[in-house]
Structure 1
Amino acid sequence: MRTAVIGLGLIGGSLLRALAAGGHEVTGFDADPATRELARESGFSIAGSVTDAVRHSEVTALAVPLTVLPRVAAELAGHDGLVTDVTSVKGPVRDLMGARRFVGGHPMAGKETSGFAVSEADLFAGCAWVLCLEPHETDLADWLSLARLVTSMGARVVPVTAAEHDVAVAQISHVPHLFAAVLAEQIAGNPLAGALAAGSFRDGTRVAATRAELTAAMCGGNVTAVRGELRQLIGDLERMATALEQADPVAALIPHLEPGARARRAWPAVPGAPERLPASVGALLDLGRSGGWVTSVGDGEVVALRPESDRKLL
C-alpha cells in the first residue's frame, strides 16, 4: 500500500519505520529540516513538502501536534486518499476534518522521550490503537482498510466514537500526566526525598518527564473531559484527606483504597477466546465499549477478543 506519514517525531517516526518494515511504500515529511535529513540518512524516502509526500498516497497519517493540524489539513486540499491521525484527542480533529475521507486514530504507545532518533519499528506491537467509528459518518470500508493496516503492525484495534475516546483517555492518560507532574515536584529542592524515592515514586511519575508543551497541548485539547475527570480525582483525594482526620484513620481509609486495589489487580483484563464478528458498525462499537479489540480483519468479518467477563458470543 502507498502510504505517507506527516510528522516524524516518536510516533510518526515509529509509524514510518513500521510501515516500511511491513513492506509498504511509505514517504515521510517533517517540517524540521534536521529531522528530514536524519530520516533520509536512515534510508527512508522523505519528501520536501506535505503536498509531495501525499501525492500518490492511498493512506496518509498525520503525526503532528494538534495545534499544527489545521495548517497541515489545509495543505491536503484536493487529496482524495484516506486520512488518519495519531493525536491523543479525537473530538477536535473530527470537527477539523469535516467531510474529508477520515478515520481518527490514536495508538496508545509512547515513551517519555521524543523525536525521530528514539523512534522504533516495533513501538506499536501489542498496543491498543483506537480507530474512531462514528455511526452514519465513518465509511466502514475505509475503517476496515485502516484496521487491516494497523493490525498488520501487531496493534490491537479498539473501535469507539471520538467522544467515548476523549473521556476514556482523560481518565487513564491526560489526568495521570497532570497528577504525575505534581507528584514529581515533591522532590524539587528536597534532596532527602529524592534520595529515598523508589519504586512507587518512579512508577507514579514516569510520564512527568514528558515535555511540558506536549502535556499541555494534550490536556488543553481535551479540556472539557480533562476538567471533569480532574475534579473527580481531586474530590476523591479530598475524601481521603477527610478520612485521615477521623479517630481511626486506618479504618477510615480502607474503604477508599479497596476499589482501586481490586481494579489494579484485575488489570489488564484476561481475554476470552477469539470471536468472529460481523464487520458492522453496531457489532464493532459493542466490542469497543466492552473493552474488546480487533486482532485481524477478513472479508465481511473481524476476529476479536474481549475481556472474559464481558464476552458475548455472536
Structure 2
Amino acid sequence: MRVMLRTVTVIGLGLIGGSVLRAAARAGHDCRGYDPDPATRSAARDAGDWRIDDSPGPATDGADLVVLAVPPAALPTVLESLAGHPGIVTDVASVKQPALAAVPTGVRFVAGHPMAGREVSGFAAGDAALFDDRPWVLCLDEPTALADWLAVAEFVLALGARAVPAVAAEHDDAVARVSHLPHLAAAALAAQAAGALPAGLAAGSFADGTRVAASPPALWADICAANAPAVRAALDRLIADLGTARAALDAPAPALETWFGAGHAARAGWPPTAGPAIPIPPERDDLLALGRAGGWLTEIAGTRLTAVLPSRPAAGTDGPRSRKLGRAR
C-alpha cells in the first residue's frame, strides 16, 4: 500500500533541518517547523511560506512525516515524546545504530542520513538545494516497514537527493571511513599550520584538506564518540597506512610512488558516475543489494522502482552487478 506524505514537520531548524524545511516547501509539501530557540523560530517565520510553532506538540499533530534534525544526544527524548504518533518519523543523525536503539515500540521510524552539509551552522545557512544529487541513506533494518521506507524514499527523491538503501551497521562503518575519519584527519592537518610561517604559506592543498576542521568541535566530538567502534577501526587503518608511508620515506623512490598510487586511483574514480537506469523490485533484499553495490534509487512510481548503479566498480570491490541485481534487470 502506497503511503502519501503531504504534511511534513521538521523539528530542529539548524543547517540540515532548515534545509529540509526549504526543500520540502520547494517540493510542494505543507510544511511546519519547530526549534527550541526563539530567535531561530523568528528567523524561520520570516523566511518562507510555512508554519512555525512555539512548541513541538502542535507542530507534529497530524503530520504525515516528522523529520528530526536535533542533536544526537536529544534524539532519545524527542523520539519518546512521539510515542503514539500515527505518522512516520525519520531523522538525519550521522550515526544510525544509536538512533534505532532509541526508537520506542510502535513508532513508525525510518532512520535516515543525508550526506550533505557545510562547515557553517544555523538556520540562515540552510539551502533548499543542499541535497541536490547528494546521497541520502535510508536504513532498511527490521522492523522498518517497507511501505514506510518507500514513502520516505519518495520524499527524499522529491528533495533532489539520491535514496540509498542500507542497514544501520553498514552505514555506520561506511560513514566512519568517508565522513568521520576525514574530520579527524582535517583537524590534525589544520593543527600542523601552527606558527606564523606555516600559516602564511598554506594554500590550496591545505585549504582543501582542512575545510571541515572549521566545523563545530563539540558537534563532531559527539558524532565520533557515538560511532566510536567504527571510527576506532577506521582510524587504526589510517594510522597503519600512514605508517607505511613513513617507512616508504626510508625506502627507494618506487615504494613511495606505489603508496601514493592507491589513493590516487581511488580519488580518480570518485565521484561515481551513474550507469543506465534499471528496474528494481520493491523488495527489502533487492534494495539492500542495490545500496551495497553503490547504487541508488532515482524514481518511485507506485510499485515501479528505478535505480542506477555506478558505471564502473569502486576500487577494492567486486563490482556492482550482483546476481540479485542482475535478476532485477
Determine the structure 1 residue equivalent to 2:153: 147
Secondary structure of the 1:121 match is coil
Q: Distance in 1 between matches of 2:44 and 2:146?
A: 33
Determine the structure 1 residue equivalent to 2:56: 50
Q: Distance in 2 between matches of 1:118 and 1:238?
A: 39
Determine the structure 2 residue equivalent to 1:233: 238
Determine the structure 2 residue equivalent to 1:70: 76
Quick check: 1:101 aligned with 2:104?
A: no
Secondary structure of the 2:32 match is strand
Q: Which amino acid counterpart does residue 112 of structure 1 have in structure 2?
A: E
Determine the structure 2 residue equivalent to 1:29: 34
Q: Which amino acid counterpart does residue 289 of structure 2 have in structure 1?
A: D
* Residues 83 and 104 in structure 2, CA contact (< 8 A), matched pair in contact too: no
* Residues 50 and 75 in structure 1, CA contact (< 8 A), matched pair in contact too: no
Q: What are structure 2's unaligned runs of at least 5 residues?
A: 1-5, 313-319
* Residues 50 and 72 in structure 1, CA contact (< 8 A), matched pair in contact too: no
Q: Which amino acid counterpart does residue 203 of structure 1 have in structure 2?
A: D
What is the CA distance between 1:278 and its match in structure 2? Answer: 0.8
What is the CA distance between 1:84 and its match in structure 2? Answer: 0.2
Q: Kindly, what percent of the aligned residue pairs are identical?
A: 49
Secondary structure of the 1:283 match is helix
Greater Cα offset, 100-109 or 190-199: 190-199
Superposition pairs of residues 97-246 of structure 1, within 5 angstroms: 97-99=103-105, 100-134=107-141, 136-188=142-194, 190-246=195-251
What is the CA distance between 1:98 and its match in structure 2? Answer: 4.2
Superposition pairs of residues 283-298 of structure 1, within 5 angstroms: 283-298=286-301
Deviations 1:54-95 (A, max 9, x none): 001010000001011122112213212100000100000001
Detail structure 1 runs of 4+ shifted over 3 Å in the superposition: none
Determine the structure 2 residue equivalent to 1:20: 25
Determine the structure 2 residue equivalent to 1:39: 44
Determine the structure 2 residue equivalent to 1:257: 260
Q: Distance in 1 between matches of 2:104 and 2:244?
A: 43
Q: What are structure 1's unaligned runs of at least 5 residues?
A: none
Secondary structure of the 1:218 match is helix
The partner residue of 1:269 within 269, 272, 292 is: 272
Report the TM-score, using the length of structure 2 for normalisation.
Answer: 0.92
Q: Which amino acid counterpart does residue 271 of structure 2 have in structure 1?
A: P
Report the TM-score, using the length of structure 1 for normalisation.
Answer: 0.96
Secondary structure of the 2:306 match is strand
